[in-house]
Structure 1
């Protein structure tokens, strides 16, 4: 057997039984999301048709779908490579907003919604822009003196009853793995809510009737400075006093645990380290550089209140007290501004590209196989019919009369946002429904459009121009819906040897797939790695965590495993011409450049 064929045979045998591709895209990101020929544009038409059907048809068995017409919402797509994608929006104005006493009566891309916990995304991004690497790992006792004082007063540092503040860092807070308490007691505490209702003369069920003990005014946890009964504005000083002695949920770096308090603390840390108010940080580091003219971390100016989405009641439903929880849930923005924000992240407009890539990665697993947590990201795993996985980077929010989703899709350099307002008890469920409609329609469309564009860009036959050398490579695009995604090498002749024919005869393997790994935007080159086909995850039998096809057969284990003269046998580098299509392919280990046939 020809020596090069032996090398290729060994390589592809090692990757034909895999249960997962590399973590990343199957094709380079699509650039056309809006033309009449774009599959994404067609997908968006299906999204709007589905939403319109939900709004018009009130016979659904699903109460969530039926309730959609009773909330006001805006949903929009955005893309790094197709600026026109920002026009792919859908807006619905509910009767309560259309007839509201305050704010807008018809929503569009410039209508101002409260972001709820999507505010946390801005807080982490501001920290990435403003803090040094060392700052992220500083103990909180070094950042906020009051916590150092508390630690000195509790030298035993009982981990069951007292947060270990000297182990809590901004990085742990951003990743929601610091183990700090979840919410301010003024927001979700049963006793605080009961006492607040009493103070307002409202009827509320006495907690003792629910099995709780009577009020004990000497209990420091019942009447903290930031409890509803004591104050409506929780300043930084009062907040620290209210939170420093509360028990932890976990020890730091143990398990992800959602915490509004954690992001109030993170905002406080950013302010203390930078010497600027958190409002100054948002404005100077994010809003102004990205042109987010309709975004605010304090209440919008009165001149803009006519664009505010206020479902019902007084302005108090939109004009929030400006306290320490701004960094956790106090920002407001629009569909158009969130699109600029998302593109700014994907484009690394403000962060260096390597820092953006580092940010867009998991930090810890949750108890679900398809759900991880990053530095605030609530990372979900979408499984395509082929078995390929796309990691989705969302951040959700739900507070007051507002629910939100901000979703980034790094594999496609695209994303979408959902902004919802309403008094309906099904508001958050309606937000989830909208996000599902977009995800289940647009992700397959993005994948398909990326494949079509990759086919136009790279598919073809590449041949040697050196006299006397019979070498060629043919790349095709497999359009079968359930096929493993990726361009396919259907023919490979190396100096007269039909390498793929020999491979099929020997082991009956499928043609090798090409997956994109590194792009050089300056030189116009795109590197691919040759891999095998994807087996379904069910190929791993129960109990086979370490044995079976899934452990050593995964692509990340075998990448560049086999080399010739120091260059990977599976590495192909394509040159891209000025028209955006490939002009040449270079199988790196074979030290040759093959030119694309006209």
Structure 2
């Protein structure tokens, strides 16, 4: 089998990747429209046709073990929001590990380190992309303060952020030294102590990317702190439930109805370690990985700007074609620009590989093409098998998508695009395109011109864009009532669910009743004593019990029939809801695409329409007024958020101090021996059994977090004062140590006074934080008014420009007449949020 194209693309790895350099290099990103429908193109049909033979060749050449492996390949597209192609293989050796007897898109595998993508995805979805810049110590202050000052011996957690962990740039190594025989996989405190006091750094923070499973163990606990839930519940609530990933979990799936490749007792199936669940603990299926991939490509859980920020390289490696993201493993491909072309362009493929001995997994996303693929593998040779399967899948379908995109561009592409030209090559590509574009204003243009791929230069923007405009308008018209219909269907579905729940509850109640009645009937029929002594009364009672059983059986049958009918209706209504949701997504996409189409067509001066240039200048001026106000508002809103978080920590500290104070009052006349005496005179206040010390530990922890949040607020707004840390009675003072040693009413009282002083200090600190919050909220109120006013002006300017452009476009296509394009108000009324709408942070 020949894989020249594989090496050419850079998928074969750094050793064989071919890097084609150019003197005329476009910006990184899609060279063609990324959101077109690839599903009906000839290039995809050819890829689907040849893929099975390519896999068979891997079997024939012994690259893959045909009898050992079980694997599922799924290729999906954001434009269709569905699978483009699936391929399944079941080897004879372990086919009995399939709990359902066959392999489908719902069959569950282990995903290994693909879990890391979900962990970062959940953190960003929960706390925002800015969470990557937060110090780890905000969430896990217990990591601070290890005893060593030698950077070669201990990790300096004060320098490490969430993003450093997510991008493998914290030097936190693996958890192998902790995961020894007899370890407790659920002991969070012990794991954090290990990471603080024992784990040796592999390198200093931010020096380079070096893979770290232990770092993702820490991220596991950060997500737990963010949500107040265990990882398995947090990942379910944040990712799995919203996306409908019903086969996915962070614990081994159990039950008689599980559809899985369950290699139980072989190697890794069912081996779950909660403290590092966020590193490699997720079980999932091809369907669920598709749902996750599509949600990222479509920005379902994140804003589009957040997705774009996340899907960026964050570190380089020792090869020119491999980059590191959070936690993406990014392969920089050099793609041929057409089937007959010897020109190439650079495109980034975002991958994450995972493996747990006998299970391996891949998820890959290509934002340039709006497609992705997943590979799930089980078997003794699963680890070596994942690389050739990745290569053949990526080479076949990413190349097909590129060719199809070029073909689509030839028909539909409008306005300036980057030239894709071959160059002379060399070590340095001498391209400053990314630095120069836009440096002289909107007059800068890169003209689209691909000789080999047969895409011609653009002359008349509107005429070329007419077909795409008409297509988008037809989609918009066909989905005009979709939002209202979907709302009604959701209401009907909720009502029907309630009816079904009642029917199901009645069925369960009747089932229990029938069981009781049958038991009473059998007991009566089998009672020889009652039969002998009761006579005719026994027979009469027996007949009555039998009739009761028959009657309950009849009602149970009716309830079962009703329940099944309702379930069928629910299924049909859910399918209708899904279709309507897809239609609504198409409508939103079409409206956004139409906005973009108009913006591209009218980009730059319009010599034939001075009014359009005037309104565009007004819109740009309004945007220039709005942007700094929005930026300042976002900054002030972040300050309020940080101070609010600090206030909540102070409130919690005050509650813990009050508990400690109350406990210490009741403890004054407790005359039992002190902890030091009970510990055989080896004093250690950390293990004293005095409850108030536990509460005081929480006080110290909460106040430390409050101080960190106020420091973040101060960074954004220097007018925010620093946090005055009150002195916390920690038991290490003379009174505290003495009380822990001999425990008399006198020492209890002295320690009680220290705790009281702590509570008073917290109250004073809380008053200061309250005042800072009041001032910050006043600032936010002022900037909110400014933002709303500027936003209103910007919205009006955009509305006028949008309506004029729509009218000009339609008049140019159809001749003079009224425009059928939806207005800005109509778009908003139909739940359309234009891409240019300003949103709060």
TM-score normalised by the chain length of structure 2: 0.50
CA distance, structure 2, for counterparts of residue 577 and residue 133 of structure 1: 35
1:81 corresponds, among 79, 82, 85, to: 79
1:250-307 per-position Cα deviation (integer Å, ceiling 9, x unaligned):
11111001011011101111211332221221111111100101111122231443x1
Pick the aligned partner of 1:263 from 197, 203, 216. Answer: 216
The residue matched to 2:94 in structure 1 has which SS? Answer: helix
For 1:176 and 1:431, how far apart are their aligned partners in 2?
Answer: 22
State whether structure 2 residue 261 is matched by structure 1 residue 309. yes
Q: Partner of 1:383 in structure 2?
A: 334
What is the aligned partner in structure 2 of residue 70 from structure 1? 68
> Does 1:231 pair with 2:183?
yes
- Asked whether 1:94 is paired with 2:86, we answer no
- Change beyond 3 A, Cα 1:569–1:432: closer
Structure 2 residue corresponding to 1:251, chosen from 197, 200, 204: 204
The one of 110, 123, 126 equivalent to 1:130 is 126
Deviation at 1:80, TM superposition (A): 0.7
Deviation of 1:146 after TM superposition, in Å, equals: 2.5
Cα displacement (A) at 1:144: 1.7
> Is it true that 1:559 corresponds to 2:437 in the alignment?
yes
Q: CA deviation at 1:540?
A: 4.5
Decide whether aligned partners of structure 1 residues 355 and 329 sit closer, same or farther in structure 2, where only a CA change above 3 A counts: same
Specify the SS of the correspondent of 1:73: strand
- Over 3 Å counting, the alpha-carbon distance change for 1:397 and 1:137 in structure 2 is same
- Partner-residue secondary structure (3-state), 1:88: strand
C-alpha contact 1:79 1:414 (8 A) present in aligned 2? yes
Distance 1:569 1:365, change over 3 A: closer
Tell whether 2:469 aligns with 1:577. yes
Structure 2: runs of 5+ lacking an equivalent: 1-21, 337-342, 448-457, 474-596, 609-807, 816-841
User: Are residues 1:405 and 2:362 paired?
Assistant: yes
Among 327, 330, 337, the residue aligned to 2:288: 337
Deviates more, 1:568-577 or 1:89-98: 568-577
Alignment partner of 1:324 is 2:275: yes
- Cα offsets for 1:482-509 (capped at 9, x unmatched): xxxxxxxxxxxxxxxxxxxxxxxxxxxx
Deviation at 1:27, TM superposition (A): 0.6
1:569/1:587 contact within 8 Å kept: no
1:50 alignment counterpart: 54
Structure number with bigger Rg? 2
Q: Does structure 1 retain, via aligned residues, the 8 Å contact 2:25–2:420?
A: no
Q: Partners of 2:603 and 2:262 in 1: how far apart?
A: 60
Distance in 1, Cα, partners of 2:46 & 2:354: 29
Q: Distance in 1 between matches of 2:260 and 2:470?
A: 45
- Which of the numbers 104, 111, 128 marks the counterpart of 1:108? 104
Q: Which residue does 1:591 correspond to in 2?
A: 607
Counterpart secondary structure, 1:302: coil
1:124-150 alpha-carbon deviations (Å, 9 max, x no partner)? 0000011245543333333223312x4
Residues 549-573 of structure 1: per-residue CA shift (max 9 Å, x gap): x33x43213313445xx54455887
The structure whose RCO (Cα within 8 Å, separation 6+) is larger is 1
- Structure-2 separation of matches of 1:439 and 1:179: 31
Mapped pair 1:453 → 2:404 = no
The answer for the alignment partner of 1:22 in structure 2 is 27
The equivalent of 2:192 in structure 1 is 240
Task: Please state which structure has a larger fraction of its residues in strand.
Answer: 1
The 3 A distance-change label for structure 1 pair 579 and 87 is closer
1:253 and 1:591, CA in 2 relative to 1: closer, same or farther beyond 3 A? farther
1:166 corresponds to which residue? 158
> For 2:189, what is the secondary structure of its paired residue?
helix
Corresponding residue number in structure 1 for 2:168: 176
TM-score (norm 1): 0.69
**Alpha-carbon distance in structure 1 between the residues aligned to 2:290 and 2:271:** 24
- Going from structure 1 to structure 2, the CA distance change for 1:106 and 1:535 (only over 3 Å counts) comes to same
After TM superposition, the structure 1 = structure 2 runs for residues 280-291 of structure 1, keeping only pairs within 5 Å, are 280-291=233-244
SS at match of 1:285: helix
Partners of 1:430 and 1:402 lie apart in 2 by 10
Q: Does 1:121 align with 2:74?
A: no
1:414 aligns to what?
Answer: 371
Secondary structure at the aligned position of 2:241 is classed as: helix
Q: What is the CA–CA distance in structure 2 between the aligned matches of 1:233 and 1:457, rounded to whole Å?
A: 56
Pick from 384, 387, 406: which aligns with 1:432? Answer: 387
Equivalent position of 1:475 in the other structure? none
Residues 51, 585 of structure 1: alpha-carbon distance in 2 compared, 3 angstrom cutoff: same
Q: Is the 8 A contact 2:35 2:78 kept in 1?
A: no
Q: After TM superposition, give the deviation of residue 577 of structure 1 in Å.
A: 1.3
Kindly indicate whether the alpha-carbon contact (under 8 Å) linking 2:75 and 2:86 is maintained by their aligned counterparts in 1.
yes
Alpha-carbon distance in structure 2 between the residues aligned to 1:376 and 1:354: 18
Please give the alpha-carbon distance, in whole angstroms, between the structure 1 residues aligned to 2:96 and 2:265.
Answer: 13
Partner SS, residue 333 of structure 1: strand
Paired position in structure 1 for 2:839: none
Give the one of 352, 377, 394 matched to 2:303.
Answer: 352
Displacement of 1:34: 2.7
| Partner of residue 210, structure 1 | none
Cα distance in 1 for residues equivalent to 2:153 and 2:302 = 39
Partner residue in 1 for 2:45: 41
CA contact (8 A) 2:68 2:94 kept: no
Where structure 1 has 5 or more consecutive residues not aligned to the other structure, the ranges are 1-16, 186-225, 459-525
Contact kept, 8 Å, 2:136 with 2:160, in 1: the verdict is yes
Match of 2:837 in 1: none
CA contact (8 A) 1:585 1:596 kept: no
| Residues 31 and 418, structure 2, Cα contact 8 Å, conserved in 1 | no
Distance 2:248 2:294 in 1: 15
1:117 deviates by: 0.4
Asked if the contact 2:67–2:93 (Cα under 8 Å) also holds between the matched residues in 1, the reply is no
**Which of 422, 426, 429 is matched with 1:535 structurally?**
422
